[in-house]
Amino acid sequence: MKFTTFSRKKVKLSETRLISHQFGSGPRGKAPHGIGSKSLTLMTVGGIMGSGLFLASGSAIRLAGPAVAVSFLIGVTIMSIEVSALAEMSAADPERGSFLAFARHTLGPGSAFIGGWIFWFSSVLNLAAEATAGAIFTRLWFPSIPVFVFSIGYSIIIVGINFLTVKGFSTVESVMSLAKVLATMAFIVVAALVVFHVVHVPYRVGPELWVARPSFFPHGIRGIAAAMVLVLFSMSGTGVLGLAAPNVRRPEQTIGHTIRNTVVGIYVLYVGAALAITGLLVWRTVPTAQSPFTAAVRLLHSVWLVDALNVVILLAVLSAMNAGLFATDRVLATLGRIHDAPHVLAKESHGIPRTANAVSGGLLVVVSGLAYFLPKTAYLYLVTATGFQALMIWILIIVTQIYFRPRLLQKTQHPQFTVPMYPILSWIGVALTVGVIASAPLAPHEMVALGISLAAVGIFGLVYLPVKLRRTRKVS
């Protein structure tokens, strides 16, 4: 019995180290110079901003009207709780790396198995949504070419890039993050000049559009709730903070500053963009089949400005795809290493999980082809399906943190960073996230996506049963 207990602990420790290794984390002492608050904030904000802001925001505005600003406020609140929970665990646990490591140790291997596979599956759907968004942006210049041609093409290109070296990856992503932030800020500033009539255009624009009939809240609370899945999808790329948190300088200060800066930055950028768009365009006319940003800039009658903004948005989406597939491949390889997936997926060549990339990329290309059958609605279905599964991961992260805190306090009475108002604020985050999932019936198109998400959880749960049985027999 003693030998069995020792073996199980040894396997458990090695599995966690494998997970941490896959996600590039390590002891804080190995990164003496670390990451500063400004760099970490830029990485986090840039990782969050994707097609959810540049395309899905149009659908959110159509559902909530100018009151989408309230949806963003609620969304930022939920996001701040989730990212704080992830940061607390990442900064404190010496075996840190992925939320899978924390879930495995705190809630058991079943949660890591189901959570890992949901994360992988939802990531592939998210990548397909980004590819479809990139195709939609490209059709600004080539309107006669079908969406699915570009979406499949972009998927193949990104998969091919991930077979190559990853040298310079972080530099490219940092540059693109800065480009996204600066482009959005420039859009808000220019739009403000037009909305407040500093720059005149021959159209009806201005603050009066925010309260035009029926009102600032055209669909009331129902509209605000219906837009929440799209709003939270646009904020789902928070994982970079959790992965980078263990390697920052003075984490007790840097992480707190980063979270505050990220929350304020995202709210200002997202709310500012939403108010800018609804101040330039009547909310009923905000497009959903193209970027509302380029539609709003067209009012300035500047073709080069529209093209320049569209180029930045397109590159931002492709950059997000590249970073997303990079992480998705390594999650699948990690599942192979800890025997939650076929071990062949863990094979690497020069640090590249080629088999995992082939499997993830193959499914990505297939899902991207959905635009062939649903050219007008493929993106919306992919976004909502991804959004629901991302919310399930958020619930897993927050619940893990709730049960992780007592273990943390057993190790130290002075944690470097903690979620305030424990456990009340954490449970509020869980309740709000569950409430967003429960709001699916308010937007009919979201019911299909919710069904897909719940089916995925059920399927992965059923698949885990024989895995658990096999492991129990091995231990016996």
* 10-residue mean pLDDT series, the chain (476 residues): 37 39 41 63 77 87 89 89 85 63 85 88 88 90 90 90 63 72 89 86 80 79 89 79 63 74 86 89 85 87 86 84 81 83 83 86 90 79 84 92 86 76 92 90 79 86 83 71
Cis peptide upstream of residue 214 (ω within 30 degrees of 0): yes
Q: Which residue has the tokens 């192979």?
A: 336
Joined together, the tokens standing for residue 69 give 């600003």
Joined together, the tokens standing for residue 129 give 């949504």
Cis peptide upstream of residue 441 (ω within 30 degrees of 0): no
| Rounded-to-integer distance, Cα 134 and Cα 313, Å | 8
| Rounded-to-integer distance, Cα 405 and Cα 393, Å | 18
- In this structure, what is the dihedral angle of CA atoms 163, 166, 167, 169, given to the nearest 10 degrees? 130
Residues 65 and 252: beta-carbon distance below 8 Å:
no
Joined together, the tokens standing for residue 162 give 């991930």
Joined together, the tokens standing for residue 347 give 């094979």
Contacts of 369-378 with C-beta under 8 Å, sequence gap 24+, read 369/148, 369/151, 369/152, 370/128, 370/132, 370/148, 371/132, 371/135, 371/146, 371/147, 371/148, 371/151, 372/146, 372/148, 375/146, 375/147, 375/148, 376/289, 377/445, 378/132, 378/147, 378/148, 378/151
User: So what's the pLDDT on residue 30?
Assistant: 43
Question: Distance from first CA to last CA of the chain, Å, rounded?
Answer: 10
| Rounded-to-integer distance, Cα 363 and Cα 131, Å | 13
Residue 213, judged by CB atoms within 10 A of its CB (0-12, 13-18, 19+), counts as exposed
Contacts of 163-171 with C-beta under 8 Å, sequence gap 24+, read 163/352, 163/354, 163/357, 164/352, 165/350, 165/352, 166/326, 166/351, 166/352, 169/322, 169/323, 169/326
Return all residues near 404 (Cβ < 8 A) that are at least 6 apart. Answer: 88, 89, 93, 102, 106
> 423-433 b/e with 16+ CB inside 10 Å = b?
eebbeebbebb
Joined together, the tokens standing for residue 118 give 């949901």
- Residue 14 CA to its chain's centroid (Å): 28
User: So what's the pLDDT on residue 339?
Assistant: 81
Largest CA distance in the chain: 82
Joined together, the tokens standing for residue 213 give 């009939």
Residues 314 and 329: beta-carbon distance below 8 Å:
no
Size of the chain, expressed as the number of residues it contains: 476
User: So what's the pLDDT on residue 165?
Assistant: 59
Instruction: Single out the residue of 162, 109, 131 nearest to residue 372, CA to CA.
Output: 131
| Rounded-to-integer distance, Cα 216 and Cα 201, Å | 23
> What are the helix (H) ranges across 237-302?
239-244, 251-280, 292-297
The DSSP secondary structure of 75-113, one letter per residue, reads HHHHHHHHHHHHHHHHHH-TT-S-HHHHHHHHH-HHHHH
- In this structure, what is the dihedral angle of CA atoms 380, 381, 387, 393, given to the nearest 10 degrees? -160
User: So what's the pLDDT on residue 153?
Assistant: 92
User: So what's the pLDDT on residue 65?
Assistant: 87
Residues 106 and 403: beta-carbon distance below 8 Å:
yes
Give me the domains of the chain, ranges plus CATH numbers.
Answer: 44-475 (1.20.1740.10)
Q: At what angle do helices 57-64 and 68-92 cross, to 10 degrees?
A: 130
User: So what's the pLDDT on residue 420?
Assistant: 85
The identity of residue 416, as a single letter, is Q
Q: Which helix (H) or strand (E) holds 459?
A: helix 445-475
User: So what's the pLDDT on residue 11?
Assistant: 37
CB neighbours of residue 354 within 10 Å: 16
